[in-house]
């Protein structure tokens, strides 16, 4: 990663433009071709330095239902159950814990009805019935900025 890459990443963190060609905006500011910005970002993504570029939305304000969920899954079925749960697009942070409730994940769905449907499908498909919901009591917003 060189100085131009650092500048692009800092710009993307601080002032990502909401427009049809945001990378052209970066390119114009840096005095390089737009395609070079795109290629540099692709290289940074391919190398694992960045995972994604995208917006962060307040899903509740968009009408989504989301929750932290824990399940008691037989140890020998953890991978199988986790793989099935991961088939739902709104599932993130699916991980094993060494507790009674040993599989934890978050689920976001476009409505309460869809959320309930997914939980029902998980129970029916996996046979796992000890699934507990931990809805947020308070929501905190934090911003992380990496100085590069």
List pLDDT tens digits, range 96-140: 999 899 999 999 999 999 999 999 999 999 999 999 999 988 877
Give a yes or no: residue 54 inside a domain: no
Residues 75 and 31 in one domain: no
Confirm whether 143 is domain-assigned: no
Number of domains making up the chain: 2
Q: Does 141 have pLDDT greater than 90?
A: no
Closest-CA residue to 16 (of 44, 35, 41): 41
- Is residue 142 scored above 80 in pLDDT? no
Residue 4 near residue 30, CB atoms below 8 Å: yes
């Amino acid at each position: 990663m060189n100085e131009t890459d650092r500048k692009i990443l800092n710009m993307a963190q601080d002032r990502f433009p909401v427009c049809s060609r945001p990378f052209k905006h970066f390119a114009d500011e840096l005095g390089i071709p737009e395609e070079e910005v795109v290629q540099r970002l692709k290289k940074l993504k391919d190398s694992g330095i960045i995972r994604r570029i995208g917006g962060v939305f307040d899903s509740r304000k968009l009408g989504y239902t989301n929750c932290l969920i824990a399940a008691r899954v037989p140890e020998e079925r953890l991978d199988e159950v986790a793989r099935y749960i991961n088939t739902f697009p709104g599932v993130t942070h699916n991980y094993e814990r060494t507790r009674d409730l040993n599989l934890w994940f978050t689920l976001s769905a476009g409505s309460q009805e869809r959320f309930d449907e997914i939980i029902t499908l998980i129970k029916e498909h996996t046979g796992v019935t000890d699934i507990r919901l931990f809805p947020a009591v308070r929501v905190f917003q934090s911003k992380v900025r990496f100085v590069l």
